[in-house]
């Protein structure tokens, strides 16, 4: 039936993809509902994991020298004497009102901590995945188009390095070379010390905030700080993306319809990009989405090496301090990121692949 | 017959294997005018490779050599990739076997046909559209405006193959190679598709190479038949003269075909001993 409706409309305008995007959203049918249900499932899992691990949240608050009375008072105040399901409902209610509890280790509300730490990771991961895609996809396509050539071999070596080089080592070497020796980039941290705290956080992403405020010199300083860690992250996703792109492309290039395109006399560049690459956009989105979600989890190694106040660092510190509210909060954010990225990929599938509509 | 459209002399196609190069086409020689030539043979006899080497589409590490491979006076083997692109589609085209695999799954039918045309002719958008509709009509597709907006997975096999034919004939080539164009189709639509090819080829005075393993089909739609086996032509005859075939292989093939209203306990099997080891 959808076909009939389509034929009734006049011939597709160039901006057809926009229409597909809208349809992608609407055909998802209760997009928001599924999103909500998935999120609820995530909440349940994080909550019960938080309750079954052998850490006493009361003890973490009152300290181990508290008397039994103090302990009981705190336990009741925290609502931990109630049945588990009531606690869960209260927890869900709190989460939806933006209350994730207090962090024991930082002494601030967890939500506030997350709104400081997550944008730092988000900024770095986004830049990283952009670098990874911008270089990884062309490299993978080139390698596949010239399978067996020295270029292909070189790209495969890069891909192999991306799997085998430790992140902290690459980060340290990068710092030693580009910061300490060549002075091309800024050092650890998000900004030079004298710029720190000058920009009022709006989104929490310094690159965005500084531009919003029109502080161009702060922007460039932030760029000089973020470029190296983002490039290191980008290198790892580049390696992965290039390898996957190469194997997807090799698969497509042996398909009959690619030969059909050659029979038509289509130039090789068009054969590769239009005929072989377009069909692999869907699996590539899966690869990129997973890779991006992985980066958004925060890389503890990279964040530690570059003194980056990101979510990976925050989560690790919280875990080591038995700071359960912070752990649950950070886990929730990471889970939510995965859900959102999955949903975005779902919608993009429908836009890019007519067979999935 | 004036100067031939295509002349092939001693065409050889080989591929490297672990045990050395294997020739899949071993010294094929034929000429083709603006006529319909059938190439028949069993699987692996080198029919498809012959078709692809005429378009210079044998990918490395495959190797094509010939004493002569000329299309309309052009030496195919000495053409650069760029020169070949001007010939492919525009002057020699090929209908492939299975529309399920040979049409791009993420482009609409119309886009794919348009591409075949605009690769060789710069035309205004409206003219392209008109030509597509006209061509789809020519391959007996009703409602071509609707079909042009469909994706390949939304059309049937028979329709897919007619779309393939439309796509390959829209730049008006002089030679069409049909590589088993009906093997993937239902028997009921095979004749329909071949009738369309036949009609269009005749009307435009094109040359046709029909590659098939179906002797009957080929003798019905072609003027001349080459019977190939193990990379070589074993028999060449006019389509009507098939029953007078001389070569034991051809005779074997003919004998292996059941005839209606006939009672035979067992159909004869080809004696393959002389080809053992190939």
Domains of chain B, CATH where assigned: 28-58+65-233 (3.40.50.300)
Query: Chain B contact for A256, CB < 8 A?
Result: yes
What pLDDT score was predicted for residue B145? 93
What pLDDT score was predicted for residue A2? 42
Q: What distance in Å separates the CA atoms of residue A247 and residue A141, rounded to the nearest whole number?
A: 9
- pLDDT exceeds cutoff 60 at B36: yes
What pLDDT score was predicted for residue A3? 43
Q: What distance in Å separates the CA atoms of residue B254 and residue B231, rounded to the nearest whole number?
A: 19
Name which residue leads in pLDDT, A47 or A21: A47
Is there a contact between B104 and A11 if contact means CB atoms under 8 Å apart? no
- Which of these, A96, A61, A106, A97, lies nearest to A79 by C-alpha position? A61
Average per-residue pLDDT for chain A: 85
Query: Chain B contact for A269, CB < 8 A?
Result: no
Is there a contact between B146 and A255 if contact means CB atoms under 8 Å apart? no
3-state SS of B2-66 is CCCCEEEEEEEEEEEECCEEEEEEEEEEEEECCCEEEEEECCCCCHHHHHHHHCCCCCCCCEEEC
Residue of A nearest to B155 (CA): A3
Residue of A nearest to B125 (CA): A11
Cβ density class B165-194: b for 16+ within 10 Å, e for less: bbbbbbbebbbbbbbbbbebbeeebbebbb
- Which of these, B49, B53, B47, B50, lies nearest to B76 by C-alpha position? B53
Is there a contact between A268 and B146 if contact means CB atoms under 8 Å apart? no
What does the pLDDT average to over A2-24? 50
What pLDDT score was predicted for residue B69? 92
What does the pLDDT average to over A89-110? 86
What does the pLDDT average to over A98-107? 84
DSSP states of A7-75: HHSPSPPTTHHHHHHHHHHHHTSSHHHHHHHHHHHHHHHHHHHHHHSS--HHHHHH-TT--HHHHHHHH
- Which of these, A254, A232, A240, lies nearest to A137 by C-alpha position? A240
Domains of chain A, CATH where assigned: 16-54+112-356 (1.10.3720.10), 58-99 (no CATH)
- pLDDT exceeds cutoff 60 at A9: no
Name which residue leads in pLDDT, A346 or A2: A346
Sheet holding B224-229, edge to edge: B92-95, B175-179, B207-212, B36-41, B224-229, B232-238
Residues in chain B closer than 8 A to A264 (CB atoms): 88-89, 93, 115-116, 119, 167-168
Name which residue leads in pLDDT, A27 or A122: A122
Chain B contact probe: residue of A11, A260, A268 with most B CBs at under 10 A: A260
The partner residues of A174 in beta bridges, in order of sequence, read: none
- pLDDT exceeds cutoff 50 at A125: yes
Name which residue leads in pLDDT, A64 or A99: A99
Q: How large is the ipTM?
A: 0.88
Is there a contact between B115 and A257 if contact means CB atoms under 8 Å apart? no
- Selecting from A11, A263, A354 the residue whose C-beta is nearest the C-beta of B55 gives A263
Query: Chain B contact for A6, CB < 8 A?
Result: yes
What does the pLDDT average to over B1-6? 74
Is there a contact between A11 and B129 if contact means CB atoms under 8 Å apart? yes
- pLDDT exceeds cutoff 50 at A14: no
How far away is chain B from the Cα of A290, in angstroms, using its nearest Cα? 23
- pLDDT exceeds cutoff 80 at A251: yes
Tokens 């093997």 belong to B183
What pLDDT score was predicted for residue A22? 62
Chain A contact probe: residue of B48, B85, B100, B106 with most A CBs at under 10 A: B106
Residue of A nearest to B85 (CA): A265
How far away is chain A from the Cα of B104, in angstroms, using its nearest Cα? 5
- pLDDT exceeds cutoff 90 at A240: yes
- Structural contact between residues B25 and B11, judged by C-beta atoms closer than 8 angstroms: yes
User: How much of chain B exceeds pLDDT 70, in percent?
Assistant: 96
Query: Chain B contact for A246, CB < 8 A?
Result: no
What pLDDT score was predicted for residue B54? 93
Chain B contact probe: residue of A7, A149, A254, A265 with most B CBs at under 10 A: A265
- Selecting from A3, A257, A261 the residue whose C-beta is nearest the C-beta of B101 gives A257
- What pLDDT band is residue A299 in, cutting at 50, 70 and 90? confident
How far away is chain A from the Cα of B247, in angstroms, using its nearest Cα? 34
B78 burial via Cβ count (<10 Å: 0-12, 13-18, 19+): exposed
- What pLDDT band is residue A26 in, cutting at 50, 70 and 90? low
Residues in chain A closer than 8 A to B108 (CB atoms): 354
């Amino acid at each position: 039936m959808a076909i009939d409706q389509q034929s009734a409309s006049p011939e597709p305008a160039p901006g057809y993809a926009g229409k597909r995007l809208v349809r992608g959203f609407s055909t998802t049918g209760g997009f928001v509902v599924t999103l909500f249900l998935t999120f609820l499932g995530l909440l349940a899992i994080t909550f019960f994991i938080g309750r079954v691990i052998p850490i006493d949240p009361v003890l973490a608050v009152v300290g181990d020298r508290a008397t039994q009375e103090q302990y009981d008072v705190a336990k009741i105040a925290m609502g931990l004497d109630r049945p588990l399901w009531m606690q869960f409902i209260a927890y869900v209610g709190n989460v939806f009102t933006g209350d994730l509890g207090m962090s024991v280790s930082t002494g601030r509300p967890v939500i506030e901590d997350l709104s400081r730490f997550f944008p730092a990771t988000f900024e770095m991961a986004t830049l990283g995945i952009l670098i990874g895609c911008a270089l990884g996809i062309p490299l993978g396509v080139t390698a596949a188009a010239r399978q067996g050539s020295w270029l292909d071999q070189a790209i495969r070596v890069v891909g192999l390095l991306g799997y085998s080089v430790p992140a902290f080592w690459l980060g340290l070497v990068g710092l030693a070379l580009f910061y300490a020796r060549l002075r091309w980039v800024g050092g650890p941290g998000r900004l030079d010390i004298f710029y720190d705290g000058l920009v009022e956080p709006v989104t929490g992403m310094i690159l965005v905030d500084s531009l919003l405020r029109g502080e161009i010199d702060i922007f460039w300083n932030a760029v000089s700080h973020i470029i190296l860690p983002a490039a290191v992250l980008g290198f790892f996703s580049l390696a992965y993306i290039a390898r996957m792109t190469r194997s997807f492309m090799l698969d497509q290039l042996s398909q009959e319809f690619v030969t059909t395109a050659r029979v038509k006399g289509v130039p090789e560049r068009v054969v590769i990009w239009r005929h072989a690459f377009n069909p692999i956009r869907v699996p590539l989105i899966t690869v990129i989405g997973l890779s991006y979600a992985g980066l958004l989890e925060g890389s503890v190694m990279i964040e530690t090496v570059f003194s980056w106040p990101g979510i990976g660092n925050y989560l690790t510190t919280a875990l080591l301090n038995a700071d359960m509210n912070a752990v649950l909060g950070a886990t929730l954010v990471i889970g939510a990121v995965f859900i959102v990225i999955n949903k975005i990929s779902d919608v993009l599938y429908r836009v890019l692949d007519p067979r999935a509509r | 017959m004036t100067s031939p459209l295509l002349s092939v002399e001693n065409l050889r196609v080989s591929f490297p294997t672990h045990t050395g190069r294997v020739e899949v086409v071993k010294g094929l020689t034929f000429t083709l005018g603006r006529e319909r030539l059938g190439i028949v043979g069993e699987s692996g006899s080198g029919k498809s490779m012959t078709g692809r080497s005429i378009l210079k589409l044998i990918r490395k590490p495959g190797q094509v050599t010939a004493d002569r491979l000329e299309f309309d006076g052009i030496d195919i083997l000495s053409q650069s990739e760029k020169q070949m692109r001007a010939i492919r589609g525009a002057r020699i085209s090929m209908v492939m076997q299975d529309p399920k695999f040979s049409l791009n799954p993420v482009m609409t039918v119309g886009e794919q046909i348009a591409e075949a045309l605009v690769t060789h002719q710069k035309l205004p958008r409206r003219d392209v559209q008109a030509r597509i509709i006209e061509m789809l009509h020519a391959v007996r597709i009703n409602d071509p405006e609707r079909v042009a907006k469909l994706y390949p997975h939304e059309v049937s096999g028979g329709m897919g193959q007619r779309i393939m034919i439309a796509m390959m004939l829209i730049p008006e080539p002089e030679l069409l190679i049909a590589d088993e164009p009906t093997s993937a189709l239902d028997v009921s639509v095979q004749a329909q598709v071949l009738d369309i090819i036949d009609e269009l080829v005749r009307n435009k005075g094109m040359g046709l190479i029909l590659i098939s393993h179906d002797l009957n089909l080929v003798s019905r739609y072609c003027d001349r038949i080459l019977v190939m086996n193990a990379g070589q032509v074993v028999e060449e005859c006019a389509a009507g003269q098939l029953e007078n075939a001389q070569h034991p292989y051809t005779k074997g093939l003919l004998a292996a075909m059941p005839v209606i209203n006939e009672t035979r306990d067992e159909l004869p099997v080809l004696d393959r001993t002389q080809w053992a080891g190939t």
